[in-house]
Structure 1
């Protein structure tokens, strides 16, 4: 007997922005269209291919540096700077923690990935090596975006096209090729998928590994723990935490095993002053200098504040946020109070925006501000080279505040979306239902 196809939620039937965008390919899906005849993998494959186009546009955006190199101040004025080609400044290294290696400034898994791609880069002149490394890194990042898209689509198989928030976001053009942040984003998305598929031990392991690529996924671990605690799923809670601790321990051992210091990057972070995009840099531009120790303390307080907000929202019966919504809100708190909010930090919001079912209107408003901030940060960074060409400090501070407000706006929309679902209103066009992100043991 043939299996009845699953009816999928179709974004073009309810999201006005999506409906308008669909006009270029024939309009919204009709009432009698055969929706659901193909599995979520079909949507994931198409969206992954589309995402590669956005990364290609990112390469085009950095065309000046690809042709002339990533030296400053040219890479600043042309807004084509990237951390990736910097990996070829050192010779082929025996391990990531050799002198000048990525382990000195990157978390364990990111350091290993940087080192591995460096090993695959043939020796040559400086610019040739940079070009080859950048091309190889772009391929790796495209694959990581595809993994993220597939994970989001698989997490919401009744509405796989919601993964378009990852694949078609304008911020991919400006942020995806800045660093290897997509490694942590992909692992984070896989961890959330494992949680929804009722594999808490695997979820914890993947999220712990993601924490060894960047620290931000620790927010998702806390969100899952809070939801499991709220729903009294002690077994799932302990499995998630056990998996996360084990993965983090393995990551640290990988660093120590080759004689490196896997905690070096955290020491570097602790000694840093306020970075680009930070609210504390705005304070500094206003004339109040804060020492690195004070900024570290404020950043730690931000994590504590995120935990307090998470506990409040997780236990508030009127809101009852799920993992995705809770993670997005907590992540925004951490970012807004952090030492820096880099250009590539925007990548961490993409899978959470998708899983929260936010509308494209909100996504595009936020992305537009991200693009403006991307251009502004390089104009401001060039101040030390040519003040006449650079962006004045007050103007950059204003754009930074606007950007942080846009992040807060996304968090606000996430809470509002969850409240509408809890009040029994019609589901958003993405079809995101809260129970799917509250998986049990």
Structure 2
């Protein structure tokens, strides 16, 4: 058996991991039998530890849990969440009823919001919000566990790399802001099924993920480019067919339910620059771009991402791997989008794990992400108390630092992914 490395045993090869293991006994021992219990043991342990991060997220939002999610208190305490907003309005109806999430959210996210709403008993406004948030928290914890397990299943000889999903500090701040993790989980399961050579099922999961958020289209694009390069057109056709079928079924369910599944996308076209996007820098400087111009830039961002993907997969010098390719394409799409919410960070976690990013780079990125998280709420809450507000110039500074951090992890993924080729503990079929 090869000696432990940072891929098989991060606490032996990375100082941040070694320091973190101090609370549970320290780094793995010199004569430890690495990998004897299999990847499922690591997946189970990491899934359990991820629930601790979610619990810390509840603690971080303690003020809102006790007092409610109303403004400006939820903003000043940085505990705002979209989840309790879904508890408002009458029960019953459909996700596309008046005020339903289907008017602003993709199909599966809207349906999940509606289901949780039906499970939430009536009562006072605060009590209803608290129960809705509690149910949503349990669902999110389970989805993060599923994402962790799916990631570890793609890293069977190096499963502890899935800690990039389960133990990322950004889970504390961002995981409970919305149901974004539904799309993350479905997309990660789809990638895992593709890696285990189940293309049709992979396509179904990735198509369903697109019906929760649009970001998984980037993963489908990266998989397509890699498959075309490798000549695996048969499996690719089954994957794309499965994805198309899932999307058609979701749209069909929405239309049969009397909804309009295209409403969120039409609304997006007319949307102004949102928090976190480079376009918002001009808004903060009182020179906002028209919504149509921002939409065109966002579409061009997708085009640039795919053209770069074509170039990177076509290089004869080096065999491009899926994780750094998908991460780079995703970062381009995020940075050229009309908004980049505080929970956007959740989408990159599985790809960081698959690219074997070092914890040093992860923690630097997470630090920028968490600082930006706090500053965002201080800036948004500004109108309620200008004396305490974060100035627009300061917010723009932290926004730029965050954007640079995303470029940094995309760049680092190309360097660190080379460890998978050089490391003797990495399986050949990875």
TM-score (norm: length of structure 2) = 0.96
After superposition, residues 36-435 of structure 1 pair within 5 angstroms as 36-419=35-418, 425-426=422-423, 435=429
The alpha carbon displacement at 1:93 in A equals: 2.9
Cα gap change, 1:386 to 1:21, in 2 (>3 Å): same
Bigger mean CA offset, 357-366 vs 13-22:
13-22
The alpha carbon displacement at 1:132 in A equals: 0.3
Bigger mean CA offset, 269-278 vs 111-120:
269-278
The alpha carbon displacement at 1:421 in A equals: 5.1
Cα gap change, 1:201 to 1:316, in 2 (>3 Å): same
The alpha carbon displacement at 1:127 in A equals: 0.5
Task: Report the Cα distance in structure 2 between the residues aligned to 1:418 and 1:46, rounded to whole angstroms.
Answer: 24
The alpha carbon displacement at 1:376 in A equals: 0.4
Does the aligned pair in 2 maintain the 1:110–1:183 contact within 8 Å?
A: yes
Cα gap change, 1:301 to 1:432, in 2 (>3 Å): farther
Does the aligned pair in 2 maintain the 1:109–1:251 contact within 8 Å?
A: yes
Task: Show structure 1 runs of 5+ residues with no match.
Answer: 437-441
The alpha carbon displacement at 1:420 in A equals: 5.6
Bigger mean CA offset, 356-365 vs 39-48:
39-48
The alpha carbon displacement at 1:435 in A equals: 4.6
Task: Report the Cα distance in structure 2 between the residues aligned to 1:204 and 1:6, rounded to whole angstroms.
Answer: 37
Deviations 1:198-257 (Å, cap 9, x if unpaired)?
Answer: 111111111110000000001000000000001111111211111111111111111111
Does the aligned pair in 2 maintain the 1:278–1:340 contact within 8 Å?
A: yes
After superposition, residues 5-20 of structure 1 pair within 5 angstroms as 9-20=8-19
Task: Report the Cα distance in structure 1 between the residues aligned to 2:34 and 2:370, rounded to whole angstroms.
Answer: 34
Does the aligned pair in 1 maintain the 2:165–2:353 contact within 8 Å?
A: yes
Task: Report the Cα distance in structure 2 between the residues aligned to 1:434 and 1:373, rounded to whole angstroms.
Answer: 39
Local SS of the residue matching 1:29: coil
Deviations 1:407-431 (Å, cap 9, x if unpaired)?
Answer: 0000001122235656xx446xxx6
The alpha carbon displacement at 1:31 in A equals: 3.3
Cα gap change, 1:24 to 1:287, in 2 (>3 Å): same
Task: Report the Cα distance in structure 1 between the residues aligned to 2:228 and 2:63, rounded to whole angstroms.
Answer: 51
Cα gap change, 1:433 to 1:299, in 2 (>3 Å): farther
Does the aligned pair in 1 maintain the 2:356–2:417 contact within 8 Å?
A: no
Task: Report the Cα distance in structure 1 between the residues aligned to 2:428 and 2:306, rounded to whole angstroms.
Answer: 21
Task: Report the Cα distance in structure 2 between the residues aligned to 1:6 and 1:388, rounded to whole angstroms.
Answer: 58
Partner of 1:439: none
Does the aligned pair in 1 maintain the 2:101–2:110 contact within 8 Å?
A: yes
Local SS of the residue matching 2:417: helix
Task: Report the Cα distance in structure 2 between the residues aligned to 1:375 and 1:335, rounded to whole angstroms.
Answer: 20
Alignment coverage as a number of residue pairs: 428
Does the aligned pair in 1 maintain the 2:356–2:420 contact within 8 Å?
A: no
Task: Show structure 2 runs of 5+ residues with no match.
Answer: none
Task: Report the Cα distance in structure 1 between the residues aligned to 2:336 and 2:426, rounded to whole angstroms.
Answer: 29
Does the aligned pair in 1 maintain the 2:57–2:171 contact within 8 Å?
A: yes
Does the aligned pair in 2 maintain the 1:77–1:382 contact within 8 Å?
A: yes
Task: Report the Cα distance in structure 2 between the residues aligned to 1:350 and 1:174, rounded to whole angstroms.
Answer: 14
Local SS of the residue matching 2:294: helix
Does the aligned pair in 2 maintain the 1:6–1:36 contact within 8 Å?
A: no
Task: Report the Cα distance in structure 2 between the residues aligned to 1:206 and 1:434, rounded to whole angstroms.
Answer: 26
Task: Report the Cα distance in structure 2 between the residues aligned to 1:412 and 1:349, rounded to whole angstroms.
Answer: 13
Bigger mean CA offset, 16-25 vs 254-263:
16-25
Task: Report the Cα distance in structure 2 between the residues aligned to 1:160 and 1:132, rounded to whole angstroms.
Answer: 35
Does the aligned pair in 2 maintain the 1:82–1:177 contact within 8 Å?
A: yes
Bigger mean CA offset, 399-408 vs 242-251:
242-251
Local SS of the residue matching 1:372: helix
Deviations 1:80-125 (Å, cap 9, x if unpaired)?
Answer: 1000000111110311001111101110000000000000000111
Does the aligned pair in 1 maintain the 2:356–2:419 contact within 8 Å?
A: no
Deviations 1:158-213 (Å, cap 9, x if unpaired)?
Answer: 11111111111100000000000110010011011001101111111111100000
Task: Report the Cα distance in structure 2 between the residues aligned to 1:5 and 1:285, rounded to whole angstroms.
Answer: 54
Indicate the RMSD between aligned Cα atoms, in angstroms: 1.8
The alpha carbon displacement at 1:9 in A equals: 1.8
Task: Report the Cα distance in structure 2 between the residues aligned to 1:68 and 1:19, rounded to whole angstroms.
Answer: 39
Local SS of the residue matching 1:67: helix
Cα gap change, 1:322 to 1:287, in 2 (>3 Å): same
TM-score (norm: length of structure 1) = 0.94
The alpha carbon displacement at 1:6 in A equals: 12
